[in-house]
Amino acid sequence: MNIPKITTFLMFNGEAEEAINLYIDAFEDAEILNIVRYGEDDEEPTGTVQHAIFRLKDQIFMAIDNVNNVDIEMNPAMSLYVTVDSAMEMEQLFSKLKREGAILMPKTEMPPFREFAWIQDKFGVNFQLALPEQQ
């Protein structure tokens, strides 16, 4: 497995696997490449994600579950910027990622984009979705 030198790394408060599954479902070209969970012999809660690697389109991500018993919230100052290929993909991602989350900026025309939206998913991860005009 070839991991880029700089990779987006997400830490979730016990919901890493649920978040990864949401992203794998939302993006058409996506897969879990590797996932390691804590076992019964570990000091951490059994089944929580010790380390995961997954791919959305051509981008590699890593994720873990926070096991330090202090919830750490995601920060909206960092977002994942996604250029979508079609209006259908825009609608699919918008609909799936906004469930139980928040719409920070509703879908709108914003040149040079035919549609642009900013969503915070239920885990606090922020996505900017952009559909270029030429699509």
Domain residue ranges in the chain = 8-65, 79-132
pLDDT of residue 2: 78
pLDDT of residue 31: 98
8-65 and 79-132 in the same fold: no
Q: How far apart are CA 111 and CA 93, in angstroms?
A: 20
Architecture of domain 79-132: Roll (3.10)
pLDDT tens for residues 34-91? 999 999 999 999 999 999 999 999 999 999 999 998 999 998 889 999 999 999 999 9
Residue pointed to by tokens 């559909």: 131
Architecture of domain 8-65: 2-Layer Sandwich (3.30)
Q: Are 110 and 90 in contact (CB under 8 A)?
A: no
pLDDT of residue 29: 95
Is the full-model pTM beyond 0.85? yes
pLDDT tens for residues 93-108? 999 999 999 999 999 9
pLDDT of residue 24: 98
Q: How far apart are CA 9 and CA 30, in angstroms?
A: 16
Among residues 6, 10, 121, the alpha carbon closest in space to that of 64 is found at 10
- In this structure, what are the phi and psi dihedrals at residue 24, rounded to the nearest 5 degrees? -65, -35
Residue range 119-123: mean pLDDT, rounded:
97
